[in-house]
Every structure is written in C-alpha cells, then in structure tokens.
Structure 1
Amino acid sequence: MNWIILVIAGLFEVAFASCLGKVKETNGTEMYWWFAGFLVSLTISMVLLIKATETLPIGTAYAVWTGIGAVGTAIIGILVFKDPASFWRIFFITTLIASVVGLKFVSH
C-alpha cells in the first residue's frame, strides 16, 4: 500500500513543479491560482511522502519519489511547455524510469 502512496506523492511532485512553470508564465490573479496549486500540491506530496516512509526505507522512498517527479516533470515539460524532445533527453528519461523500477524490485 505504501508503494501506491509513494507513487501518488510523486505525481503530486509533478503537479507542484508544473504549477511553478505556469506561475512563471502568468501574471495577476491567474498567477496566484497557480501558486495556490503549487502550495496545495507541495503539501499533499510531502504528507504522502512522510506516510510512505513509515514502512519504506527513506533512501529508497526518496529516490523513487524524486525519480517519479523528474520523469513526470520532464514529460510535462515536453508536452506542455514545449521543452526539446531530443534522442538523448528521451534516452535518459527512459534510464530514470528503469532505475525507479529497479529500486522497487530490489527493496524489501
């Protein structure tokens, strides 16, 4: 169950990073709404990460949480923020995914 919580925490990490990207692109009231989304997503992500580390090793949980956030944010960057999608960028995103899955399999 805590692996599921950890994945959800990682998805909220993607959400707070994406909200920061939108804060940078907007102004006025819209910027404040994106900033509020950032704060809510950050809070949820941290609470779920804390919950997941009650039974998972902190090093593994943090690495998986960060990996999910990095991969998800890179994909959102490509799809939403028009970041480049070069061969090497996709290659290293793929290796990050493999590393996160590998950590899951070698953790007790």
Structure 2
Amino acid sequence: MKNAVLLIVALLFLLQAGCTKSIRYSEEEIKSFPPNIQENIRKGAVNLGMTQEQVRYTWGSPDSIKILESFDGKAREEWIYSTTGTMGVVGSRLLLFFDGKLIYIKY
C-alpha cells in the first residue's frame, strides 16, 4: 500500500512538471524592450508588430521556418508552431514576418 501511494505521488509530480511552462528568457534579456512587449512576453502573448527575436522569447523557436521569395529585397519568413498530442500533430499556428516584423497570425 505504501509503495502504491509513493508511486501515485511520483506520477502526479511528473505530470505536473510536464505542464509547467518553460521560461525562455531572463528579465535581463527583455529589459530593453518596451514595457508592453515585456508584458506580452511574460504572458506568452504574440502580437502583430513584434520582432522575430521578441516572438522567440515568447513562444520559443518555431518547428519550421520557410524563407519566402522576395521581389523587393525585403525578407519574408513563414514560421510554424505545431501543437502535438497523443495522436500526433493536432494543430498549428502560422506566423508571417515581413522585414523582421510580425504581420500575420493564423491559429
């Protein structure tokens, strides 16, 4: 009985640890950003106009990056963040950047 209780406690601890949001930045790293951007990063909120660096601090590195063809010399990138579950990929978020700034978000 005692071993069963210890096993259940250990499993609950592991499950809880897996749900903890990882911190991708330190306060020192984001202190040069405007206060509203710092708050968005803390909340995990991505908004239009954010830079690629700010998005990485907020959501981490994307699962894939596609460099899009440029007709005017300005950089265009498509970032995809995939959400996985027990059955594999269950959703994705697509972000488009133009010249280093976020211009489009699709959930």
Q: TM-score, normalised by structure 2?
A: 0.33
Give the structure with the higher percent strand: 2
Whose RCO is larger (CA < 8 A, sep 6+)? 1
Give the structure with the higher percent helix: 1
Q: TM-score, normalised by structure 1?
A: 0.33
Higher-Rg member (1/2): 2
